[in-house]
C-alpha cells in the first residue's frame, strides 16, 4: 500500500489557536483506501486535525499536502460530516434538499441542480437507507437518521475521501451500529477518516489509528488495547465488555 502516493500527508505540522492551544510536530500519511480512526480525549484537538486535513485551517509550521498538492481545491474531492451542524431543526428543508446541498460546490455558474445531481442525491440516500424519508422535513428525523442524512449529503458530492467527526455521538446503540455498518461498506470504495470514541469499532474495523493527545501518534488498531484506553480516557474500554 505504501508504494502508492498518500492522499493526505502532514509533514512536521504545528498549529495553534493564538498560543492558547497548540499541536506540535505532526507527521502522518493517509493512503488511498485506508479506513482511519481518530481518537483522543475531549478537547485534545481531533476536530482541529480534521480541519487542517480539509484545508479549513492552515498550519503555522510544516505542510499539509492534500491529493499530492498544497492547493486548497482538494476539498472538492472530500466529503465532510461535521461534529455539529448549526441548523435550526425548524428550518423547512426536506431530507432530499439537504442531501442535494452536498452537490452545491459542483454546480455550474447558473446554479440549477441537474439530473445527475438528483441521481447522486438519490444514490446517496439509498446508501444510507433513507430513501423512504426523502420528502420528510429534516427536522423530524431521529438523531441517528439525521446523521445518516448528513452522511448522504457528504456522499452526494461523490468524494474520494470521506471525513466524519464523531458521527455516532448522541446516537442510540442500534443506530450507531447501522452507521458503522454503512461506513464499513463505504470503506471498501473510498478512503474514510472518522473521529470516534467507539474504540470497539476502531479496533475491529479500521486499519490505522491516529491518537490525538498533545500531538498525533499513529497506531495500529491492535495497539489500542484496554490498558491503553484506560490511560487515555480513564474509563473501561468497552462498557459491559465480556471477560
Measured from the CB atom, the residue of 45 and 144 that comes closer to ligand ATP is 45
Region of 43-51, 103-111, 139-147, 220-228 interacting with ligand ATP (CB under 6 A): 43-51
Kindly tell me which residue out of 10, 26, 44, 153 binds ligand ATP, with binding defined by CB under 6 A.
Answer: 44
Helix (H) or strand (E) holding 201: helix 199-205
Helix (H) or strand (E) holding 228: helix 226-233
Q: Does 201 bind ligand ATP (CB under 6 A)?
A: no
- Strand arrangement, sheet containing 8-17: 21-30, 8-17, 61-66
Distance CA 71, CA 240 (A): 46
Measured from the CB atom, the residue of 117 and 165 that comes closer to ligand ATP is 165
If you search the block for the grid coordinates 472530500, which residue do you land on? 78
The mark string for 43-72 relative to Mg ion (x by CB under 5 A, - otherwise) is ---xx-------------------------
CA-closest candidate to residue 186, choices 165, 221, 161, 204: 161
Out of Mg ion, ligand ATP, none, what residue 17 binds, judged by CB under 5 to 8 A for its kind, is ligand ATP
Measured from the CB atom, the residue of 53 and 99 that comes closer to ligand ATP is 53
Quote the least distance from Cβ 184 to ligand ATP, whole Å: 23
Q: Does 42 bind ligand ATP (CB under 6 A)?
A: yes
Q: Does 175 bind Mg ion (CB under 5 A)?
A: no
Q: Does 47 bind ligand ATP (CB under 6 A)?
A: yes
Show the cell assigned to 53: 486535513
Q: Does 21 bind ligand ATP (CB under 6 A)?
A: yes
Q: Which of the residues 71 through 100 are near ligand ATP (CB under 6 A)? A: 83
- E strands, 109-196, in order: 161-165, 191-195
Count of beta carbons in the 10 Å neighbourhood of residue 177: 15
Q: Does 191 bind ligand ATP (CB under 6 A)?
A: no
Name residues whose C-beta falls within 8 Å of residue 209's C-beta, 6 or more positions apart in sequence: 36, 37, 38, 39, 202, 218, 219, 220, 221, 223, 224
Measured from the CB atom, the residue of 3 and 18 that comes closer to ligand ATP is 18
Measured from the CB atom, the residue of 46 and 134 that comes closer to ligand ATP is 46
Out of Mg ion, ligand ATP, none, what residue 42 binds, judged by CB under 5 to 8 A for its kind, is ligand ATP
Distance CA 211, CA 225 (A): 13
Q: Which of the residues 75 through 104 are near Mg ion (CB under 5 A)? A: 83
Show the cell assigned to 143: 438523531
Q: Which stretches of 55-94 are DSSP H helices?
A: none
Where does this chain bind ligand ATP (CB under 6 A)?
17, 20-21, 40, 42-48, 83
Where does this chain bind Mg ion (CB under 5 A)?
46-47, 83
Amino acid at each position: 500500500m505504501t508504494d502508492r502516493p498518500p492522499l493526505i500527508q502532514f509533514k512536521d505540522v504545528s498549529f495553534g489557536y493564538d498560543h492558547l492551544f497548540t499541536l506540535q510536530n505532526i507527521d502522518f500519511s493517509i493512503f488511498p483506501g485506508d479506513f482511519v480512526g481518530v481518537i483522543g480525549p475531549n478537547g485534545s484537538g481531533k476536530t482541529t486535525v480534521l480541519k487542517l486535513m480539509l484545508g479549513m485551517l492552515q498550519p503555522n509550521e510544516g505542510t499539509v499536502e492534500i491529493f499530492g498538492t498544497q492547493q486548497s481545491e482538494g476539498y472538492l474531492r472530500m466529503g465532510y460530516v461535521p461534529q455539529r451542524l448549526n441548523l435550526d431543526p425548524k428550518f423547512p428543508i426536506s431530507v432530499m434538499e439537504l442531501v442535494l446541498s452536498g452537490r452545491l460546490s459542483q454546480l455550474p455558474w447558473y446554479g440549477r441542480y441537474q439530473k445527475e445531481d438528483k441521481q447522486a442525491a438519490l444514490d446517496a440516500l439509498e446508501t444510507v437507507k433513507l430513501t423512504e424519508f426523502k420528502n420528510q422535513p429534516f427536522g423530524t428525523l431521529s438523531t441517528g437518521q439525521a446523521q445518516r442524512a448528513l452522511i448522504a449529503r457528504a456522499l452526494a458530492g461523490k468524494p474520494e475521501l470521506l471525513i466524519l467527526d464523531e458521527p455516532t455521538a448522541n446516537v442510540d446503540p442500534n443506530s450507531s451500529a447501522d452507521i458503522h455498518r454503512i461506513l464499513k461498506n463505504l470503506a471498501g470504495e473510498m478512503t474514510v477518516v472518522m473521529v470516534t470514541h467507539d474504540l470497539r469499532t476502531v479496533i475491529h474495523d479500521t486499519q490505522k489509528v491516529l491518537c490525538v493527545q498533545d500531538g498525533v501518534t499513529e497506531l495500529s488498531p491492535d495497539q489500542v488495547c484496554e490498558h491503553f484506553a484506560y490511560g487515555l480516557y480513564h474509563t473501561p474500554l468497552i462498557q459491559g465488555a465480556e471477560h
